[in-house]
Amino acid sequence: MSEPDVHTLTGPYVLDALPDDERTRFEEHLAECPFCTTEVAELREAGIKLATQVATPPPPALKAEVMSAIEQIRQLPPLVPGATDELARRRFSRRSVLALAAAALAVAATGGIAIDQYRDKEAVIQANDRVASVLAEPDARTLHSPVNGGGQATIVTSDRADAAVVVLRDLPQLDADQTYQLWLIDPNRTAHSVGLASGDLTTVVDGATGKAAFGLTVEPDGGSPTPTLPAAALIPMA
């Protein structure tokens, strides 16, 4: 195992995916390399966050898909003295993605990501990318409100993205002829419908910039042109 390659083994080491002989040699290297030591610690911390925050059981085929994808991905080595600016930029991008994943899962812990709503693989990818893009905005703000009768409403809003991630969790079950309706309320107190929900979900709503509040109401099946008051939840955004 050559020295230029040893730095790339932090990921397999954390995942306990190294053969015994490579593990032994990497641990000998680890004792002398503060950069790999830092990398291992950070990857373990991220792994713990991912493992403890996800409550939805993964699909049976997920492991096989991940293992297949890993074969096509080369891990970047840790940043060491003398590294080029290009390497630093690539490394920052990888760490930014890792941090973003942890941030998304932190929101999921308080609001719940309704992964099982999306049956189509491409829809899952697009929905996750859209959520991640709003969460990554530097002006993103997270706001919470309890829902009348139980549950929690969370929004992460960004003026730069002109959008908000709406997360609903543990909502009370409604009668068959009722639905939850989502609203953005402008400064003139005019409510604009931005979707319906039958239960827990995560979605992105556009047009959030300049809005005064987010509202959640209980409406007849199919929704209403105007909100039925009192609202189940109301989150000031201004």
Coil, strand, or helix at residue 142?
strand
Domain 139-236: top CATH class: mainly beta
Helix (H) or strand (E) holding 164: strand 163-169
pLDDT 10s digits, 92-146: 444 444 444 444 444 444 444 444 443 445 566 677 778 878 888 888 888 999 9
Q: How many residues does the chain have?
A: 238
Between CA 234 and CA 212 the distance in angstroms is: 10
pTM of the model: 0.53
Between CA 78 and CA 111 the distance in angstroms is: 34
What are the backbone dihedrals phi and psi of residue 225, each rounded to the nearest 5 degrees, phi first? -70, -25
Q: Which of 2, 104, 94 is nearest to 42 (CA)?
A: 94
Show me where the domains of the chain are located.
3-113, 139-236
Give residues with Cβ within 8 angstroms of 25, minimum separation 6: 1, 6
Q: Which amino acid is at 74?
A: R
Contact 22, 45 (CB under 8 A): no
Please list the ranges in the chain whose pLDDT falls under 70.
Answer: 1-5, 15-17, 44-60, 62-125
Compute how many other C-beta atoms are within 10 angstroms of the C-beta atom of residue 166: 26
